[in-house]
A = this chain, B = another copy of it.
Amino acid sequence: MAEAGAPTSVKEFEERLLDVSVALPKRLKQCADYVAANTDRIAVSTVAEMAEGAGVQPSAFMRFCQIMGFSGYSEMQRLFRESYVGGWPDYATRLDHLRDMGEHSGPRLLAEFVEASRASLENLLKSVDPQALEDAVEVLASASLVHIIGLRRSFAVASYIAYALEKMRVPAMLHGAAGRLESVNAIRPGDALLAITFSPYSQETLDLVETVRAREVPVVALTDAAVNPLRKMGATILAVSEVDFGAFRSLSATLCLAIALSTAVGTRRST
């Protein structure tokens, strides 16, 4: 019957499936075959659906789950559901917890942030629309001057982009750096604006985007995936969903996108 340990990864699951299915009675073999061909459906289907697909009774499918080493279908399904969301247990709350627990040692926090950053990076590939990225590169590369705005928590990103563009000889101007100086009038037709803002969105940034849009200047926005005002303003949206808690945001994914964008603009321009 079912051996001790249940598979803990999709890979293990598939190995076990092979092992097990050499000597299986008719109905259970049907289950094994159907599962092998439709592994991914497990995450979103009910036992009844899987059973029907395999052409067996739910109870037969149930037995199949147990032979695979799980206690039942639910446990088996959990494996696939978790692997689907790329497993990012809620880091925000986990970090909050850490704070409450008095577990403040530097190394411990570092480990948590590394994990959170890794998750954010994986997520980055999902949340950024490749087409939007191409568009953004096109818009920025063909601008005669790139204006960059990012305040508060986003200032770090803005300033890094400004640095990178400068290094690549792309004409760029960082706004909001010098003592809250407004430089709206420096933005002229033929230019483009790169706005960086995350919830809670700073009003100054939103205002600038609006003003600039009214003048038909194209806007690229580096922002979060949440429904935010920028979406309504006709900007090219590059969405990053980053783990953040309280005042903090592990900017790793954002920075990564920022550099990719800058580099792409730089190379596009010089060719």
Residues of A at the B interface (CB closer than 8 Å) are 17-18, 21-22, 32-33, 36-38, 40-41, 43-45, 53, 81, 84-88, 90-91, 94-95, 98-99, 101-102, 104-107, 109-114, 117-118, 121-122, 124-128, 130, 133-134, 136-137, 152-153, 155-157, 159-160, 163-164, 167-168, 177-179, 199, 224-227, 231-232, 241, 246-253, 255-257, 259-264, 267-268, 271
Contacts and interface: CB of A to CB of B under 8 A. Distances in A.
A163 B156 contact: yes
Given A86-B90, A246-B263, A252-B252, 8 more contacts: A37-B226, A43-B43, A91-B125, A102-B271, A113-B257, A164-B248, A167-B246, A167-B248
A137 to B, nearest CB: 4
Count chain B CB atoms within 10 A of each CB in A117, A168, A267 and give the residue with the most. A117
A156 B153 contact: no
A107 B88 contact: no
B113 A260 contact: yes
A232 B156 CA distance: 29
Nearest to A103: B267
